[in-house]
Structure 1
Amino acid sequence: MSIQGVEAWVIRRASAADVPAVLQVFDGVIAWFVSRGNTAQWGTEPWSALPRRVDQVTQACVLPGAWVVEAPDGLILAALVLGESMPYVPAACQPEVYVRLLIAARDVRARGLGRRLLAFADDQARAAGARRLRVDCYAGGTGELVRFYEACGYQRLSTFELEGWPGQLLGRNL
């Protein structure tokens, strides 16, 4: 299926076969973070070189709510994983869809893709009968990521720390 407004992007279910491409997206984003001095969010090493991260991405790509976005040439530009809340945040008090993973390449063709995937998440939540979405993200550094989610209609709910990693839980009602 095409993402609304951008006929060139195709969103489809992810699979284990997509793991190397999704890891490549992570590696590119981490290299960009490091170039900007952001070494605390995900570290400095490419995820494709870290067995724990390879395992995380592999597990994520085979979940029923895992999606990837392809450019016309077949290059994976982004990944989105929807599902149940992460174990380190408070349980939901109403039916919800949780954005477990959202990542988009730094490729110019991926510009605006994060927002469009969050709109896709809204559609998936509605189709599932949920009227609430939640997401968590890195709350350190400049706070730019938290502000991104706020600009997409999410509101801050609570903060948390996970092994020294500062996180922000956000939510959005449909």
Structure 2
Amino acid sequence: MTDTGKDILTLRRASAADAPAVLALFDEVIAWFVSIGNLQQWGSEPWSTMPRRITQVSDACALPGAWVAQDEQGEVRAFLALGESMPYVSAPTAPELYVRVLVASRDVRVRGIGRRLMAFADEQARAAGLDHLRVDCYAGSNGDLVRFYESCGYARIAPFNVDGWPGMLLGRTL
């Protein structure tokens, strides 16, 4: 990873030891969501206080395709987990790499890190000999998140709903 804003970010494999820092990222983003009135995407409570979310994040950090981006001070500024598709979406029709989790700090000094990590996912797919990627995201509110993934080269495949949570499955061919 190269210069992003004022900070230089280093990308490295994540481990379960990164879970507290990744939970802090989720807490930061949730606080921002609350400030803009988006209570539907991930709720309004910090994930670091919820046992189910702590387990989910710890498990995600231990995945072989989990990565963190750190700034020069060693602070985790973004998290990416790649792997198999999520159980609530349709099965893949071809071998693929699935973007399971992407979360990034709202700090302006690391603006653009989400897009850089999506490009990194492309690189990981190519290195694995894959040319299909998929991702899912929250499709409610104003649709900004769906549009973000579209701006990264993904196209809408199908909407889905998990217990009242509206999602969108998107895909990309390299």
TM beyond 0.5: yes
3-state SS, counterpart of residue 9 of structure 2: strand
Quick check: 1:105 aligned with 2:105? yes
The one-letter code matched in structure 2 to 1:140 is G
RMSD of equivalent CA atoms: 1.0
Tell me how far apart the structure 1 counterparts of residues 82 and 19 of structure 2 sit (CA, whole Å). 16
Structure 1, unaligned stretches of length 5 or more?
none
Structure 2, unaligned stretches of length 5 or more?
none
Task: Give runs of aligned pairs for residues 3-152 of structure 1, distance below 5 A.
Answer: 3-4=1-2, 6=4, 8-152=8-152
Tell me how far apart the structure 1 counterparts of residues 48 and 110 of structure 2 sit (CA, whole Å). 21
The one-letter code matched in structure 2 to 1:76 is V
The one-letter code matched in structure 2 to 1:105 is S
Aligned match of 1:161: 161
1:123-144 per-position Cα deviation (integer Å, ceiling 9, x unaligned):
0000011101000000000000
Share of identical aligned residues, percent? 64
Deviation at 1:4, TM superposition (A): 4.4
3-state SS, counterpart of residue 158 of structure 1: strand
